Structure 1
């Protein structure tokens, strides 16, 4: 789809200079931009790339001379990366899901599907499911019995939603996301070695080998509005009470949220984050890639954990964490500096040992 540049400017609340009638059909890096692409040249380091590409219009950094850069028009925005969100939203057609219900979809007669829904090939929708208006459900999705899904949802191919899961409006699931699988909840007839080790911090005592017995997951999952879930991400059902994800959370690929976890509003979780069972996470927390969070702890509001951090105990609000085990980021930086100095320090210690006489040796 083509857009006039002045339409793009209006949508982005951008300042337009030059020819607003130019037609834009895509976005590109400056050096590879075609004549109908909007070049994303948001800082001076991209100036050279503009001369290599064929863009006629670009988003530029404030103060740039668009005429001298060989352009016919330019957009200026106060926060370029935020503008990028608007540009990509305008230009992204999304998955192609034809209107209506595909002939191969299997929908239980008791299910209620909202107006203007699009349901792709080989989808299976179970008993007493409720799906809101304008839903777009791609091929091979399955939705378990009594699930509730709000308006304007988008389920990419292969999404799995379990029984009794409740999801709000404008939910997006990337391919093969799974919501509502059973959690890892098992118990032994007598005290297990794991329980002994946890109680003693390392000693398994006289615990004997035993088989594991499943504790079934009855609590399902409750997800708020405007939540996005990445490809192959998994949210487990709660054991008795539901696992909860509040409004506005954005969850990346391959993230695992275990049973009974409660995730606050507007959290951002990068790929491979794992949050163990019954942990509560506050609002607006940001976890980098491969962050691990232990079970049955509390993480306060506005906590930031850098990639690879392992959170093993309660965290107060506003803390910025790094390392394994997690400590304040500035503390971790000092620890890392000290570790880098260890080889030199050990060399100095060895030299001092040689210089000092052994006990009992004659002078």
Structure 2
């Protein structure tokens, strides 16, 4: 069960969600829960008939229901109806989520460089370290054990959860949210060999490394940092590396899940979505409104157009035109992949039929 910090009248929740309210609007709600686990002050989430089966097991007095449901027959005192229940869930959980408890002001154990500028209403928790020349926007909330490197700029109403690392000179817009241990602005995988490397030669020749050399790697330092737009969210343990010379960029509204990797010099457009374990290799450009399923990957130095959907575990190895839905390894159009998979499944039967139908070829002279 999810409990908020406050109690709300059901009628106020209905107004906030633009929901139709039936029954007792004066009921007090303090949380949301699955029907079978709901208490008397929980709003049960029975958004489809299959979920309503759990209502008798709980003690909810009110629920969000699907269109056409008979709320009184379900034994409820009140019900909310919304056109798109899952969208309403976003508004409901936002209202009920108090966020991390961070006291106003700067905690005595925080280390804040005297040259840093802290906006009004900011809350900085214990053991935070804020470097020289940092700017923190108004209303920002920074949880414990966060570090912000020198020269970084963080916008208004930002929330950095515990353990987040923001590197030097990173620029972050307003309303940014980073989950625990996200890392923004670390050095990228930029290394070079004194002579042309085996990888370079293999790429040029499509597989031949040529003479094998004893080579060592020398770092190319990351000077470009990271620039992030407004309303971006980054999941726990996700990493966005600094650019080499120009900055790595993440556009406004983009949401990045846990354990994702955005490499150096990458440019991600606006309102993209990356599920867990997505990796975007260096210097790739991603358009607006792209969606990447879990464990998907994109190679370096290519372009992914606007509105591309990359399904789970798909590996994109070449440029992807706008609006394409991709699946497989290597990535192809979804419908093409489905046809290929169907053909692959037919292969054993086809081979069996070929073996059963072939005729013996007589040896020379046998038909003399």
What is the CA-CA distance between 1:271 and the residue it aligns to? Answer: 0.3
- Indicate whether 1:180 and 2:185 are aligned: yes
Q: Give 1:35-114 correspondences, 5 Å limit.
A: 35-114=40-119
In the alignment, which of 315, 318, 321 is matched to residue 313 of structure 1? Answer: 318
CA distance in 1, matches of 2:226, 2:363: 68
In the alignment, which of 297, 308, 319 is matched to residue 302 of structure 2? Answer: 297
Q: Give 1:113-262 correspondences, 5 Å limit.
A: 113-262=118-267
Stretches of structure 1 lacking an aligned partner (at least 5 in a row): none
What is the CA-CA distance between 1:344 and the residue it aligns to? Answer: 1.5
What is the CA-CA distance between 1:311 and the residue it aligns to? Answer: 0.1
CA distance in 2, matches of 1:72, 1:13: 19
Would the alpha carbon gap of residues 242 and 359 (structure 1) be closer, same or farther in structure 2, given more than 3 Å must change? Answer: farther
The TM-score with structure 1 as length reference comes to: 0.98
CA distance in 1, matches of 2:60, 2:362: 77
CA distance in 1, matches of 2:344, 2:214: 40
3-state SS of the aligned residue for 1:235?
Answer: strand
Answer yes or no: is the 8 Å Cα contact 1:44–1:61 preserved in 2: yes
3-state SS of the aligned residue for 2:53?
Answer: helix
3-state SS of the aligned residue for 2:108?
Answer: coil
Answer yes or no: is the 8 Å Cα contact 1:309–1:325 preserved in 2: yes
1:279 matched to which residue of 2?
284
- Listed one character per residue, the Cα deviations across residues 114-144 of structure 1 (whole Å, up to 9, x for unaligned) are 0011111111000000000011000000000
CA RMSD of aligned residues (A): 1.0
The total of aligned residue pairs comes to: 362
2:268 matched to which residue of 1?
263
3-state SS of the aligned residue for 1:335?
Answer: helix
Would the alpha carbon gap of residues 360 and 106 (structure 1) be closer, same or farther in structure 2, given more than 3 Å must change? Answer: farther
Stretches of structure 2 lacking an aligned partner (at least 5 in a row): 1-5
3-state SS of the aligned residue for 2:253?
Answer: coil
- Listed one character per residue, the Cα deviations across residues 292-334 of structure 1 (whole Å, up to 9, x for unaligned) are 1000000000000100000000000000000000000011111
CA distance in 2, matches of 1:46, 1:119: 41
Answer yes or no: is the 8 Å Cα contact 1:192–1:207 preserved in 2: no
CA distance in 1, matches of 2:366, 2:268: 69
What is the CA-CA distance between 1:358 and the residue it aligns to? Answer: 5.3
CA distance in 1, matches of 2:360, 2:7: 81
- Indicate whether 1:356 and 2:360 are aligned: yes
What is the CA-CA distance between 1:201 and the residue it aligns to? Answer: 1.1
Would the alpha carbon gap of residues 356 and 60 (structure 1) be closer, same or farther in structure 2, given more than 3 Å must change? Answer: same
What is the CA-CA distance between 1:92 and the residue it aligns to? Answer: 0.8
CA distance in 1, matches of 2:70, 2:144: 48
